[in-house]
Amino acid sequence: MSKGLDASSYDTDKALHTHYLRNYEQYFARLQNREVRLLELGVYKGGSLLLWRDYFPKGLIVGLDLNPIQLEDPSGRIRTYSGKQQDTSLLDRIGAETAPDGFDVIIDDCSHIGELTRISFWHLFDNHLKPGGLYVIEDWSTGYWDSWFDGVSFQPRWVNGFSPGLFRFRSLMARLYRSTLATRVPFAQKFIIGLKRVINGRQFRSHDHGLVGFIKELVDECGMADITRPDLGKPPQRCSKFQDMRISPGQVFITKLHR
């Protein structure tokens, strides 16, 4: 039987977020008795590293933080590094020294700054996460806070409510775009697309600041097969690098596509 994930006796803020732990358990239970390689970016005093070490009895647990970490670890299954999450040469060195075949799990609980998270995400995801591996980004909603480095408070944009007249106009543009006339007249389709961008621009409220903005970029990666679809999108076609992406309050779970 798998051991539960109880952080109450560890010095980690994960102990405060019990729903985080419940979500982690859903993904981690099947890995618990494997020789898991886990990397956590941002570990503060290392409490979460001890939690992962004790949860994965055969795991190698690796942590990176700006500040050096002092930990008592008689098991010898914890490795720590100090440096910046955005330092891709350091990330390569960590990968080569601790998980040459790739990590099974990477958790980013680090700066929570969108542009830094993006650098380490794509570098680690592409080069150091195993196919089928899991990448977790914590605390993505910092992008909704004025007081956060790159966050701003949520101000729902003014949006057009449903207007039957506008809806009919949209429908007309969609039909026009597909009409023989538009395919024959030079630039007609380009003109309609431009019009659609203006008219449809204020349909939805979206907040694109800080880490929230980066997470929304990742939603576009989920849509890559359709973004690049030869008949409707912009080829060359490629499938999404993600098998799935689950966004939940405070956490995003991304599973890398199995090749």
Ligand X SMILES: C[S@@+](CC[C@H](N)C(=O)[O-])C[C@H]1O[C@@H](n2cnc3c(N)ncnc32)[C@H](O)[C@@H]1O
Smallest CA-to-CA distance from 211 within 83, 85, 37, 39 is with 85
Number of residues counted as binding ligand X (CB under 6 A): 20
Q: Does 84 bind ligand X (CB under 6 A)?
A: yes
| DSSP codes of every residue in 7-60 | -TTSSSGGGT-HHHHHHHHHHHGGGTTS--EEEEE--TTSHHHHHHHHHSTT-E
- For ligand X, the binding residue among 6, 27, 47, 88 (CB under 6 A) is 47
Residue 250 in contact with ligand X, rule: CB under 6 A? no
Q: C-alpha angle with apex 200: 236 to 224, nearest 5 degrees?
A: 25
Q: Note whether 85 binds ligand X by CB under 6 A.
A: yes
Nearest alpha-carbon partner for 210 in 140, 155, 160, 259: 140
Out of 23, 31, 42, 256, which residue is the one contacting ligand X (CB under 6 A)? 42
Whose CA is closest to 27, among 132, 140, 117, 141? Answer: 132
- Among 13, 66, 8, 59, residue whose Cα is nearest residue 38: 59
Q: Closer to ligand X at the Cβ: 80 or 240?
A: 80
Identity of the residue, 55 or 242, whose beta carbon is nearer to ligand X in the bound complex:
55
Among positions 38, 39, 43, 136, the unique one binding ligand X when judged by CB under 6 A: 43
Catalytic residue status for 112: yes
Q: Which residue is nearest to ligand X (CB)?
A: 42
Residue closer to ligand X, measured from CB, 24 or 242: 24
- The verdict on 21 binding ligand X (CB under 6 A) reads no
Establish if 8 lies at the interface with ligand X (CB under 6 A): no
| From 112, 123, 128, 209, the catalytic residue | 112
Interaction with ligand X in 110-129: which residues (CB under 6 A)? 110-111, 116
Residue 74 DSSP one-character state: T
Closest of 62, 19, 56 to residue 42, by C-alpha: 62
Residues that bind ligand X (CB under 6 A): 12-14, 40, 42-44, 47-48, 64-67, 84-86, 109-111, 116
Which residues are catalytically annotated?
112
